[in-house]
Chains A and B, each alone.
Chain A
Amino acid sequence: MALPRYATPAQRAWHYGLRVIVGLVLFYLVAPIIVIIPLSFNARDFFTFTPEMLALDPAGYSLKHYRDFFTNIDWQLPLWNSLKIAPMATLIAVTLGTLAAVGLSQAHMPWKRAIMAILISPMIVPLIISAAGMYFFYSRIGLQGTYWGVVLAHAALGVPFVIITVTATLVGFDRSLTRAAASLGAGPVRTFLKVQMPLIMPGVVAGGLFAFITSFDEVVVVMFMGAAGQKTLPWQMFTGLREQISPTILAAATVLVTVSILLLIALELLRRRNERLRGLSPS
């Protein structure tokens, strides 16, 4: 919406004022995340910019927090735990979630609304309540403090995202394609794998990314559910923030921000591919 040449001064002020306000809000959103990146290269154990850093003196910068992050067992163990837990939780959430989303999008699904409400609820129920419930219940069935306990809990938390993204893709899915496949002699499984699956793939992958980041980011449930052996990266960061705050946390945060940016790019590419496949012009 470009500003017309006949705009009054008030309109002009509004036009630029709005952009300034939005700029400030976007700055508020992004700046805290961006600012920790240079801070993580601080050569000293401070959480603010040292005079050397502001003078762009190379001596003010160092990789020592990264060295600590990548060599210290206190950080490496949680990192690997996170990398072991998240993919398995994602796999479970995506497999069950995709099947369920396909079922939910059928025209004749009974009790659709109620079932949908139940399946989305892990996203809505406050985490502390989920965590407490799971802690008591999983202790009773012997899963508390085990790898699989954490994986199952995280899978449950990731399910709503898979359901939401996959059903959203299925809304635009042309049913006549499955009928065409069936009329050409493909069985339901073959139709699903060869026709439906490739078309809903962007939704599945996006749901998977959401489920992955949910597990990778999750701290409340794992603190209740996991033993020290399942300590994950967010858990370690939480402990670090609550007890003795070490600047290594900024290096860890920067690594995580990089991961988020990569995920975001992956999602953006998916969105474009999706629009292309649906015959929309890529924006």
Chain B
Amino acid sequence: MADMTVDRLPDGRAAPEGTTMLAADGTPLRVSLQRSLRRQKRRAFLLVAPLLAFILVFFALPIADMLFRSVDNHIVPETLPRTVEALAEDPDPVPGEPVFVALYEDLVVAEAYKRHTQLGTRLNYEMGGASSLLRGTGRAIGRIGTDVYADQFVAADPAFADPARWAAWMVDPAIRAALPETTDAYDAWARFTIEADNDDPAEEQPGDMVYAALWRDLAAGAQPPGLPAVDVSGWETPSIRELMIEAESGWGDPGIWSTLRTFSAPYTAGYYLAALDLRLSEDGIAPRPASERIYNALFLRTFVMSLLITGLCILLGYPVAFLLSTLPARTANLLMILVLLPFWTSLLVRTSAWKVLLQQQGVINDILVWAGLVADNARLVMINNQTGTIIAMTHILLPFMILPMYSVMKGIPPAYMRAARSLGANDWTAFWRVYFPQSIPGIGAGSILVFILAIGYYITPELVGGTRGVFISNRIAYHISSSLNWGLAAALGTILLVAVLILYWIYDRLVGIDNVKLGG
């Protein structure tokens, strides 16, 4: 419609040069038609807009937001801003004093906000032991021995113990300019004193890290105007690097520094690598130790079991759909109810039914024992393993296979088979060469649908799958609600989602999403 022009008359002949067709109100027909088309488009869009906005806000946005977590690594640069900056300029395996000074200040601040444990949890995903290192440092950070700086300043001039004097100094632009490190340390201390401790910095003596910073400024030759003059030569000045390593020997280990260097950027591919059983180290991407590799196997299991379930659904569904499509409509509709009943029955009901039936003391084992097929002391284990997942999920997903197959097979004219036979084909050839190819779209539609639903399944594997019959979804749920490794959960989720969306796209190409049939 959009390319409709009035250069041609309705019968296709070119319109005579110079004539413009006019609408009833006198505007050129082309303009009038375009206006009306625009109006129709707008009206159609306005009808869809509320739902589109609803789905985008309450469904798509939450998912996008979660997926963002799979690359989000802000916690490292935000908790250790000074360290990350200083570390970039220090290539040594265990860095020197400036990095440790930065780490000390960052951790004092982090400890005040209780953020060091979260950072420890984050780093622990990449390096075992990081969590306890951070936790231990957090406990020790207030008393690692930096108080000697404060003591010496106060001994030199008691004014250094006066919070109000400090507050006055630290608003003086000349002093701030002369003492950059002190200013930074004091500002950080004052901020967490207000925000985390709910105290007034003008009434509290500054923390040790401020005095240590002041000493560094003075030792570097700063001459702040208006501060009591102190001679810092000959003072006892312990190295913060040594104090930190003394407090927690882990900081002397190159491992943690290598990890911090690798994961200092605000975005990381680390979770994706973890989801693929790889790890990022300073030397690049390497496989994880064999004992930590679980996800590739889990993805593979999810894929293979979904494929198996899809295959079983085709095998079981095809004869049903075939028979139903050839029976008279009245009988077919009656039998269809038997297919639709499970479709409409609560998933939990069907899963409970299988749980009850498949138990070792359950109905199926009872029947097998009664029939003498199985000894009473050798009852079959059909639940809490892969068998349980496959039996229950095939049952649950079978209607999703039968319904699209049925709707395709209904459209295959029976005359084709008769024609094939009358031309000399036997029953099998007629079926295989004539009927079956025409039913493939139904198999395709059903298979993709079943496969999409299967690889994302959570409830049924969780309840009947035990440990060996669970899917990737169960692992995602575990990371969200138990291990709280949300980044990894998001990365696993993204991989699963991408797989599903690719299949969805293929489905849309092949079948068209508006052709999905839901029963009846």
Contact = CB atoms under 8 A, between A and B. Distances in A.
Interaction A to B: yes
Interface of A: 1, 10-11, 14, 18-19, 21-22, 25-26, 28-30, 32-33, 35-36, 39, 46-49, 92, 96-97, 99-100, 102-104, 106-110, 113, 115-122, 124-130, 132-138, 140, 152-153, 155-156, 159, 161, 164-165, 167-168, 188, 206, 210, 213, 216-217, 219-220, 224, 234, 237-238, 241-242, 245, 249-250, 253, 256-257, 260-261, 263-264, 267-268, 271, 283
A219 B342 contact: no
A217 B65 CA distance: 26
Query: Most chain-A CB neighbours within 10 Å: which of B320, B345, B362, B501?
Result: B345
Contacts of A234: 346-348
B390 to A, nearest CB: 13
Contacts of A263: 344
Interface residues of B, number: 100
B54 A135 contact: no
22 contacts: A19-B323, A22-B320, A25-B319, A26-B338, A28-B398, A29-B339, A35-B363, A48-B366, A99-B47, A103-B44, A106-B40, A109-B44, A110-B45, A119-B52, A120-B516, A124-B504, A125-B500, A126-B497, A155-B54, A242-B463, A260-B349, A268-B520
Nearest to A220: B458
A91 to B, nearest CB: 13
Contact of B62 (A46, A104, A137, A217): A137
The prevalent SS among residues of A at the interface is helix
B65 A132 contact: no
Contacts of B414: 1
Contact of B366 (A10, A49, A126, A264): A49
B427 A125 contact: no
B59 A99 contact: no
A137 B353 CA distance: 35
A242 B466 CA distance: 11
A152 B480 CA distance: 21
Nearest to A237: B348
B62 A99 contact: no
B452 A124 contact: yes
Contacts of A107: 1, 40
A262 to B, nearest CB: 10
Contacts of B6: none
Nearest to B54: A96
A167 B50 CA distance: 17
Contacts of B419: none
Interface stretch (B127-135, B255-263, B324-332): B324-332
B399 interface: yes
A116 B65 contact: no
A78 B361 CA distance: 29
A129 B496 contact: yes
B69 interface: yes
B477 interface: yes
Contacts of A119: 51-52, 55
A136 B65 contact: yes
B63 to A, nearest CB: 4
Given A253-B346, A253-B353, A103 B46 contact: yes
A110 B47 CA distance: 12
Contacts of B463: 238, 241-242
A133 B333 CA distance: 40
Given A32-B354, A167-B514, A18 B497 contact: no
B212 interface: no
B513 interface: yes
B382 interface: no
A108 B52 contact: no
A126 B500 contact: yes
B217 interface: no
Contacts of B514: 116, 164, 167
Query: Most chain-B CB neighbours within 10 Å: which of A19, A29, A127, A134?
Result: A29
Given A47-B356, A115-B52, A132-B490, 15 more contacts: A19-B323, A29-B398, A99-B47, A103-B43, A107-B1, A108-B44, A110-B41, A116-B513, A118-B60, A133-B64, A165-B518, A188-B43, A241-B355, A250-B356, A268-B520
A122 B455 CA distance: 15
A14 to B, nearest CB: 7
> Nearest 9 CB-CB pairs, A to B?
A126-B456, A103-B47, A137-B62, A133-B62, A106-B44, A100-B51, A133-B66, A283-B329, A103-B48
B274 to A, nearest CB: 17
B408 interface: no
A104 B473 CA distance: 33
Interface in B29-63: 37, 40-41, 43-48, 50-52, 54-56, 58-63
A277 to B, nearest CB: 15
A264 B337 contact: yes
A100 B65 contact: no
B396 to A, nearest CB: 10
A148 to B, nearest CB: 11
B50 A99 contact: yes
B480 A224 contact: yes
A128 B456 contact: yes
Given A36-B356, A119-B55, A132 B41 contact: no
Given A48-B363, A100-B48, A129-B63, A253 B348 contact: yes
B347 A110 contact: no
B293 to A, nearest CB: 22
Contacts of B48: 99-100, 103-104, 109, 115
B272 interface: no
A159 B342 CA distance: 21
A126 B496 contact: yes
B66 A132 contact: yes
B493 interface: yes
A12 B451 CA distance: 35
Contact of A210 (B56, B62, B518): B518
